[in-house]
């Protein structure tokens, strides 16, 4: 019984660590939209799910490279600690509303 309770608590804590598309949408609107000047739907539909996954691998290096090139004024933010903290959530947001997802983001 004690093992079951510990396993359940461990699973509950683990699920809270995972990224969240809703948080990613909020983070996009708060931090990235001012730099990119495109709404969330336009941003997310720029790539397919597999492409987003590739862009966010290895500390988001490919994402940072691509979007720094597209939006040079965002370089400082994208290379900062805040972006690294929000990147998993932004990735989930981008993948949920990717070009091949069939879903539309409702953010301006």
For residue range 3-42, what is the model confidence (pLDDT) as tens digits? 656 666 555 544 445 789 999 999 999 999 999 999 999 9
**What is the Cα Rg of the chain in Å?**
16
For residue range 40-98, what is the model confidence (pLDDT) as tens digits? 999 999 999 999 999 999 999 999 999 999 999 999 999 999 999 999 999 999 999 99
User: What's the CA gap between 42 and 59, in Å, rounded?
Assistant: 23
Neighbours of 78 (CB within 10 A): 21
Residue from 12, 10, 32, 9 nearest 89 by CA: 32
Determine the number of helices (DSSP H) and then strands (DSSP E) in the chain.
8, 0
């Amino acid at each position: 019984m004690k093992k079951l309770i510990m396993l359940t608590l461990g699973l509950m804590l683990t699920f809270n660590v995972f990224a969240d598309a809703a948080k990613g949408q909020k983070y996009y609107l708060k931090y990235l939209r001012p730099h990119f000047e495109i709404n969330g739907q336009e941003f997310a539909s720029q790539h397919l799910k597999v492409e987003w996954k590739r862009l966010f691998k290895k500390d988001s290096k490919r994402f940072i490279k691509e979007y720094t090139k597209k939006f040079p004024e965002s370089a400082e933010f994208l290379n900062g600690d805040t972006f690294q903290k929000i990147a998993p959530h932004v990735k989930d947001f981008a993948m949920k509303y990717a070009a091949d997802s069939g879903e539309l983001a409702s953010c301006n």
